[in-house]
Amino acid sequence: MDQWFAAQASPRMQRLDERDIRELLVKLRAEHRELDTEIAALEAGAHADQLQITRLKRKKLQLKDRITALEDQLLPDIIA
């Protein structure tokens, strides 16, 4: 009986994980867009703080890497 319960619970748990990942992706993508806007605004300014811009770009790149890793979790591995 325990094996049956585990087999039935597993797909449900997987869907919850997938939903959580998708929700996190929405938040991370929004944060990525906000950073892009902030970087553009700083670069447009007369006295652009290059150190701040570099830090924001690094953070944006880290977000992109995290987004890509989460997207990879959602896509099944395809053996070609």
pLDDT digits (tens, 9 = 90+) for 34-66: 999 999 999 998 888 999 999 999 999 999 999
Q: Which helix (H) or strand (E) holds 44?
A: helix 2-44
In a domain, residue 7? The reply is: no
Quick check: 70 and 21 in contact, CB under 8 A? yes
> How many CB atoms are located within 10 Å of the residue 32 CB?
18
Q: Which domain holds residue 50?
A: 16-74
- Assigned domain for 79 exists: no
In a domain, 66, yes or no: yes
Count structural domains, the chain: 1
Domain assignment of residue 10, yes or no:
no
In a domain, 8, yes or no: no
Whether the CB-CB separation of 52 and 42 falls below 8 Å is answered with: yes
Q: What predicted TM-score, i.e. pTM, was given to this entire model? A: 0.72
Residue 6 lies in a domain: no
pLDDT greater at residue 78 or residue 36 = 36
Report CA-CA distances (Å) from 36 to 63, 66, 79. 11, 16, 35
